[in-house]
Amino acid sequence: MPLSLLGLTDAQIERVGYGSYLVNAVADCAACHGRPKPAGATGFLAGGERFALPAALGAEVYARNLTPDGATGLTLTEDQFLLIMQTGLDKKNPGSRLLVMPWFEYRWLTVPDLLAVYAYLKAIPAETSDVLADVKNPLASVPLPGAYGDGDVARVLFDGGVPDPDGVLRGYAIQPLAQPDLSAQPPAVQRLFGRGSYLVNAGGRCNECHTNPPRDPVMLKINTAAYLAGGMVFTPATPALAESLRLKRSMSRNLSGATQGYAASFIDFVGTLATGRDVTAAEPEEVGWPMPVWALRHLTLLDLEAVYTYLRLVPRRTGGHDPVTPEPVAYCSATVACPAPQTCDVAAGECVGAPCDAQSPCGACQVCTASVCTAPAASSTCVTQGL
């Protein structure tokens, strides 16, 4: 996007740039708040997307317009923005907290980084986009705690005082597991681990997709037993989206399991994120939606190394929390065919019939019946809750 930088100092311009890095490479705010659309209107961060809520929380919410449009966009002051990002306060719905917006993770970003995000949002093109009203039940916002308590141990946040420009100290503080003990690791590795934890736990939302379920929705405690062990199921909300993605169902990969966890080399990890294709597969397949490769591919090599180092050093999950996480299942219909040897189960809208056995499991939630993969019942616990 063209940015409006008129009148900004060099330091302010640099801050806008780092804000862009956080928004577009690390956090992928556009995944929910709107990607650029062709034909005139850009739609970039202009909001409008609908998110259905579980019945206990209400009916639906809509991603807000984050562009600087004076009437329909982000009109919050810097202080209000900070408060919202750190506490989930929903100014539009008094007495409510933001429910889909992952503020419970972004609240751990350092204040300078949150202000960089704000500076970037103020510099992007304004767009008029009046977002529909949310339908949700009241739920109080949560004051920013003085220490980190979402994980197994409480940790000091190193606020103010100690400069922490890369979030390394913050990353250490917000790592949800009691271990690992890194005292024997070289300082360079400790540094990468801290930065990696910051990217994974404060900005990258890895936990919100790679832990199933990710956390207690009210108290916000992370499900540490299954931390990053994958198994969450994703189904495109409409047949049109499924058709455009050619995807019926995907499942997040087990990244932390002792035996089934992610074991690719650093080179393959970088290759996969940079190309958006799993380079370790015999025939590299596109990494399935909604894994945000389109954003993460823009991470610097050093940040990729930090994330990789973190994933390698995080203590392994075992037993029932170390599942095999299968490949995505392709969408099909009377007019959209399946890759051979699979055929289309038109009623289920998915490709079936691949050969299967203990060594080669079926795609996400499919059932291996007489050595052939079949569609699961829509009510199966795998489809409704994941692994």
Q: Which spans of this chain sit near ligand HEC (rule: CB under 6 A)?
A: 23, 27, 29, 31-33, 51, 61, 63-64, 66, 81, 84, 90-92, 98-102, 106, 117, 134, 200, 204-206, 208-210, 234, 250, 252-253, 255, 262, 272, 278, 287-288, 290-292, 296, 307, 327-328
Residue 191 CB, nearest distance to ligand HEC (Å)?
18
Residue 357 CB, nearest distance to ligand HEC (Å)?
20
**For residues 88 and 349, which CB has a smaller minimum distance to ligand HEC in the complex?**
88
Please report, for residues 188, 312, 329, the alpha-carbon distance to residue 305 in angstroms, rounded to integers and kept in the order given: 11, 10, 30
Cβ distance 313 to 299 under 8 Å?
no
Q: How many CB atoms sit inside 10 A of residue 284's CB?
A: 14
Q: What angle do CA 117, 25, 192 make, to 5 degrees?
A: 95
**For residues 232 and 370, which CB has a smaller minimum distance to ligand HEC in the complex?**
232
Residue 186 CB, nearest distance to ligand HEC (Å)?
23
**For residues 23 and 354, which CB has a smaller minimum distance to ligand HEC in the complex?**
23
**For residues 115 and 255, which CB has a smaller minimum distance to ligand HEC in the complex?**
255
Residue 180 CB, nearest distance to ligand HEC (Å)?
17
Q: Which of 83, 73, 85 is nearest to 23 (CA)?
A: 85
Q: Residues in the chain, how many?
A: 387
CA distance 371 to 367: 9
Cβ distance 245 to 289 under 8 Å?
yes
**For residues 191 and 297, which CB has a smaller minimum distance to ligand HEC in the complex?**
297
Q: Which of 381, 14, 61 is nearest to 233 (CA)?
A: 381
The torsion angle over the Cα atoms of residues 104, 109, 113 and 116, rounded to 10 degrees, is -10
Residue 228 CB, nearest distance to ligand HEC (Å)?
8
**For residues 148 and 308, which CB has a smaller minimum distance to ligand HEC in the complex?**
308
**For residues 148 and 289, which CB has a smaller minimum distance to ligand HEC in the complex?**
289
Residue 370 CB, nearest distance to ligand HEC (Å)?
25
CA-based torsion, 41, 42, 44, 49: positive or negative: positive
236 cis-preceded (ω within 30 degrees of 0): no
CA distance 196 to 303: 7
Task: Label residue 126 exposed, middle or buried (CB < 10 Å: 0-12, 13-18, 19+).
Answer: middle
Residue 238 CB, nearest distance to ligand HEC (Å)?
17
**For residues 195 and 205, which CB has a smaller minimum distance to ligand HEC in the complex?**
205
**For residues 43 and 292, which CB has a smaller minimum distance to ligand HEC in the complex?**
292
Contacts of 349 (CB under 8 A, 6+ apart): 239, 242, 248, 331, 332, 333
Residue 161 CB, nearest distance to ligand HEC (Å)?
25
Residue 125 CB, nearest distance to ligand HEC (Å)?
16
Task: Label residue 168 exposed, middle or buried (CB < 10 Å: 0-12, 13-18, 19+).
Answer: buried
